[in-house]
């Protein structure tokens, strides 16, 4: 089987140049600042863009400041390039496994495929182009910025923006650990891994959160030998242990080594070969590596903003806000990763919608959400929980996809669903492990929003055969449990006499 190495999809450098021309154009000149702005937004990622566009739609005079690339982490170093690489790895893995069923082999040179993630960025970048937002009426300033006082932001390029209200949406950056003896050139984060020219032969992943698990599996499927070192005692530690066991089995089958309850002591070079010393409760071992991916969390981007000049309080680099997303200065708001806790693109989007409502309408709303979480491994792991609810206080209702015909046909019968209900049968949360778990979860999310009971799914007609039919089946079973001995007795009487 041949592969055209010159396929434009894999011309990573060319794609990056195209993207930068849209989201960080070198020839862009900042506009002349207006005397006064109704709203100044710091940060051009998801949180900042939603806040700026929302305020603009309401008629506010808006300026948006971005220091690097429009689109923020999601477009440039997070969701978009990572999902592009995951999709490529999944297609290659599926093709290889299918061909091997027939005794054939698929051997392609995947060494340069990392930069194919730029293809996904190139397709999404026009949505976040500077020119697009300028045409919408926003004043876009490409510069670093800091507060001069509670109503003035000073740009590194010399301009000063005076405002009535502001939103800080500067996002977060990858956290780094200090490791004795490590060469900085060998350390990767989500901000650098998608710019690799070639796949590393051996990749050491520190951390087993979403980024760590997703990248570990994707690189492994493309041919890299992957080892995970994590302080956690199991994968998906926040989920039910059945999910941990299932996913650990998946990773083991794909030859991904995992060292739990462990940490790295130091790097030991031996000639041209590099090792890390890994200490766990079980042993002290050495693991060879070519590159290290640090996936140990994120730190809010507040350094250099001079928030003290604006009187905005910070706690461990995260901006302190109330439930209405107001900072210690009530005319200055914040949303997204910069306030810490739940760092997801969709969460930032939802927060900024509330922020705009609270800043520019009399109808204040609390920024409290049931936030869906999806880790894009294969299978995916999707979770949602109602605010203030603990799964330990709920009844767990479980069903495996081996009860669903379409899943059995597609060899997806190892997947499962946990639904959590309260004493009144209302759905309080769910966990799903399935190749498209993130696409099934919203049905349960909508049910939670409308205070539905699990048994209500029993009355919904699903097309046959579909995998989401599992929700009707689990609803059938839950409704059947309400058919008490008394109801059975009444039913028999009705059958006999009616």
Per-residue pLDDT, 262: 96
Phi, psi of 359, rounded to the nearest 5 degrees: -80, -30
Other beta carbons within 10 angstroms of residue 15's beta carbon come to 22
Q: Where in the chain is the domain with CATH 3.30.390.30?
A: 379-480
Give tens-digit pLDDT for 113-143: 887 788 889 999 999 999 999 999 999 999 9
379-480: CATH class: alpha beta
pLDDT tens, residue by residue, 42-90 = 999 999 999 999 999 999 999 999 999 999 999 999 999 999 999 999 9
Q: Which helix (H) or strand (E) holds 13?
A: helix 12-23
What CA–CA distance (Å, rounded) separates 26 from 14?
15
Token pair for residue 6? 């010159």
Question: For 129-162, b where at least 16 C-beta lie within 10 A, e where not — what string?
Answer: bbeebeeeebbbbbebbebeeebebbbeeebebb
Instruction: Report the distance separating Cα 103 and Cα 101, nearest Å.
Output: 6
Look at residue 472 in the predicted model and tell me its pLDDT: 96
- Do 122 and 19 touch, CB atoms closer than 8 A? yes
Nearest-10 crossing angle of helices 117-124, 12-23: 30
Place of tokens 């439930």: 323
CATH class of 184-296: alpha beta
Question: Residue 11: is its pLDDT beyond 70?
Answer: no
CA pair distance 52, 44, nearest whole angstrom:
9
Q: Which one is predicted more confidently, 281 or 23? A: 23
Q: What are phi and psi of 167, to 5 degrees?
A: -130, 130
* CATH number assigned to the domain covering 8-173+299-360: 3.50.50.60
| Spatial distance between the Cα atoms of 492 and 275, rounded to a whole number of angstroms | 72
Mean pLDDT (the chain) is 93
Closest CA to 384 of 452, 465, 477, 448: 448
pLDDT score of 155: 98
Tell me the two tokens of residue 368: 């409290």
What per-residue confidence (pLDDT) applies to 242? 97
Specify the pLDDT at position 209. 96
Quick one: how far is CA 216 from the chain centroid?
15
pLDDT digits (tens, 9 = 90+) for 244-273: 999 999 999 999 999 999 999 999 988 889
Q: Which pLDDT tens digit goes with each residue over 298-339?
A: 999 999 999 999 999 999 999 999 999 999 999 999 999 999
Instruction: Indicate where the chain has its CATH 3.50.50.60 domain(s).
Output: 8-173+299-360, 184-296
pLDDT of residue 394: 97
Name which of 35, 88, 46 is nearest 71 in CA terms: 46
User: What's the whole-model pTM score?
Assistant: 0.92
Half-sphere exposure of residue 465: CA atoms within 13 angstroms, side-chain side: 9
Distance CA 58, CA 60 (A): 6
Whether the pLDDT of residue 5 is over 70: the answer is no
């Amino acid at each position: 089987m041949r592969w055209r190495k010159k396929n434009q999809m894999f011309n990573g450098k060319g794609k990056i140049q195209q993207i930068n021309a849209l989201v960080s154009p070198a020839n862009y000149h900042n506009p002349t600042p207006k005397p006064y702005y109704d709203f100044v937004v710091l940060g051009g990622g998801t949180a900042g863009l939603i806040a700026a566009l929302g305020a603009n739609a309401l008629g506010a005079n808006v300026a948006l400041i971005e220091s690097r690339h429009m689109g923020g982490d999601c477009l440039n170093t997070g969701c978009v390039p990572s999902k592009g690489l995951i999709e490529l790895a999944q297609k290659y893995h599926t093709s290889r496994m299918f061909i091997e069923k027939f005794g054939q082999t698929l051997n392609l040179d995947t060494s340069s495929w990392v930069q194919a993630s730029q293809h996904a960025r190139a397709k999404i970048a026009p949505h976040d182009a500077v020119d697009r937002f300028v045409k919408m009426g926003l004043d876009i300033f490409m510069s670093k910025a800091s507060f001069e006082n509670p109503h003035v932001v000073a740009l590194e390029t010399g301009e000063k923006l005076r405002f009535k209200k502001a939103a800080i949406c500067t996002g977060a950056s990858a956290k780094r650990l200090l490791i004795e003896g490590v060469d900085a050139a060998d350390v990767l984060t989500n901000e650098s891994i998608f710019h690799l020219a070639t796949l590393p032969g051996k990749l050491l992943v520190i951390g087993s959160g979403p980024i760590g698990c997703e990248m570990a599996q994707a690189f492994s499927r493309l041919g890299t030998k992957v080892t995970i070192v994590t302080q956690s005692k199991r994968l998906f530690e926040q989920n039910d242990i059945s999910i941990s066991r299932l996913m650990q089995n998946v990773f083991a089958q794909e030859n991904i080594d995992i060292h739990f309850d462990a940490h790295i002591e130091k790097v030991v070079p031996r000639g041209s070969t590099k090792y890390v010393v890994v200490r766990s409760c079980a042993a002290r071992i050495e693991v060879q590596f070519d590159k290290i991916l640090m996936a140990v969390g994120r730190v809010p981007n507040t350094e250099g903003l001079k928030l003290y000049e604006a009187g905005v309080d910070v706690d461990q680099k995260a901006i302190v806000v109330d439930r209405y997303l107001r900072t210690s200065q009530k005319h200055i708001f914040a949303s997204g990763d910069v306030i810490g806790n739940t760092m997801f693109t969709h969460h930032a989007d939802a927060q900024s919608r509330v922020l705009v409502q609270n800043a520019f309408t009399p109808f204040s709303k609390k920024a409290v959400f049931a936030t869906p979480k999806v880790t894009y491994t294969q299978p995916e792991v999707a979770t949602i929980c109602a605010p203030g609810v603990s799964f330990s206080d709920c009844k767990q209702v479980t069903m495996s996809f081996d009860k669903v015909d379409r899943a059995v046909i597609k060899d997806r019968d190892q997947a499962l669903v946990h639904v959590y209900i309260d004493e009144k049968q209302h759905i309080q949360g769910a966990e799903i492990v399935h190749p498209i778990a993130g696409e099934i979860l919203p049905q349960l999310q909508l049910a939670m929003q409308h205070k539905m009971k699990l048994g209500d799914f029993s009355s919904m007609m699903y097309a046959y055969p579909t995998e989401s039919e599992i929700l009707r089946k689990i609803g059938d079973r839950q409704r059947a449990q309400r058919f008490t001995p008394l109801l059975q007795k009444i039913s028999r009487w009705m059958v006999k006499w009616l």
